[in-house]
Chains A and B, each alone.
Chain A
């Protein structure tokens, strides 16, 4: 069974204070690992897809990295508008299966 564990559950940062969110996963062959951002009352918003260990992707203040067992979402000099819940999900390479298994998320609060 595919499993995704995110830590910490909640993180409070001061504006400009860089940090990282962790996503540990167990999957029988990884097709892709996804990061999403979810604001209150809205649906998850796609951020990144990572396909293989060693891969990195960046978008503004966010950088996602991938190893064989975990992924990190690094936030550099965050701003209050980065406050949201960040979700990690995996898609297994299992035949034609396309479902995602999500972690429980990290709720990030950036204080001005």
Chain B
């Protein structure tokens, strides 16, 4: 398996522009997570999906952020309009099917480094 795939790897945009980050989870995983990592705040969960349904979006910083998962193999995180404080590395992760209330590890993609000028 190729692992979690994210695109683009790097994105540089100007303040006010729309940014769309993309993620393809590992096949067969039914949980998908979006994280943001900064030096100041570390790794923070933004939102996660189970079977394509958003379960918890309490980490989404504000209405400028939105995420969708139209099918089991694709998710997007959109920022509109973008601001310089959104500059960070955004990670997507996926996790196994969870049949027995067990803790399953999350597998991370390589991340998208977003710079908003």
B: number of interface residues (CB 8 Å): 26
* Bound Cα distance from A87 to B107, whole angstroms: 14
| Cβ of B25 under 8 Å from chain A | no
What per-residue 1/0 map shows which CB atoms of B78-117 lie under 8 Å from chain A? 0000000000000101010010011111111111000000
List residues of chain A with CB within 8 A of the CB of B93.
43
- Beyond A96-B55, A98-B48, A98-B95, whether A46 also contacts B107 by CB under 8 A is yes
- Interface membership of A91, Cβ < 8 A: yes
Would you give the shortest CB distance from B9 to chain A, in whole angstroms? 9
A36 (CB) vs chain B CBs: closest residue:
B108
Q: Say yes or no: B45 contacts A99, CB within 8 Å.
A: yes
Query: A91 to chain B: which residues have CB within 8 Å?
Result: 103
> Complex Cα distance A103/B111, Å?
18
Measured in the bound complex, the distance between the Cα atoms of B101 and A44 in whole Å is: 23
Binding site for A on B (CB under 8 A): 4, 31, 33, 42-45, 48, 50, 55-56, 91, 93, 95, 98, 101-111
